[in-house]
Structure 1
Amino acid sequence: MGTGCEFNVRVGIDIGSDALIASECGFVDHGHGHGHGHGHGHGDGHGDSDGHGDGHGDGHGDDRLRFLRDQSAKEASIEIGEDAWLSCNVVVLKGVTVGRGAIVGAGAVVSKSIPDYEIWAGVPARKIGSRPE
């Protein structure tokens, strides 16, 4: 786990063994970041992390007469597969599964699940290649 990673989670995050997460990655499992929760890391060398900070993603309320923090937000857990690699500054949004052996390029925003052994990059992240299984 790289330095400066942020876990802004309410539901949870599962991290597979031998997953590599580089510096400054962010994980957001809900539509806006005004709540607090816990990220649950599973696998070798990954612990629990309090979730605080500004969120990213959709699911914001649409009631203009109430603050966003007072409106309900969509939530869904995040899963990082075994041997997955997340490069620096990757943001993974709610409900996403990064498959086993997948690679995510630096600075990508992952809003869709990534199948096993695929390589994704960009904003929003999209498939740019595959790894041999």
Structure 2
Amino acid sequence: MELIYTEKELQKTANAILAEFSTNIFAFYAPMGAGKTTLIKALVKELGAVDEVSSPTFGLVNEYADTHGNPIAYHFDFYRLKDEMEALDFGLEDYFNVDAYIFMEWPEKIPSLLPDNVIAIKIEILDTTTRKISMV
């Protein structure tokens, strides 16, 4: 599946992604500044989270909940990891077994830890306002 979108079309794009796949684990591959966090923000909003979405660069993981306080998504940013052991040390594998969505930025830092059912989303910058995503 491929989609081309602008920031104005983010919610529609997020809805299309969530409708397309039955899995709940997504890995986002893109260069710095391509809009990984922005797209994840739209996905989390589409899921009904009440929390403000931000990049978990320093904390590694952010949890987002619904109006009842139930976790509906976990957002990881592996950019600052030195190696895969750091991800194992904070219990990454346990998150793969929760009943919530998992959104991962910089998954190329943990290639051997990614589960088989992960959906890879590659974001390509077409111009200053337009992005192309490919999903497999």
TM-score range, shorter chain: under 0.3
Using structure 1 for the length normalisation, give the TM-score. 0.28
User: Relative to total residues, which structure has the larger helix share, 1 or 2?
Assistant: 2
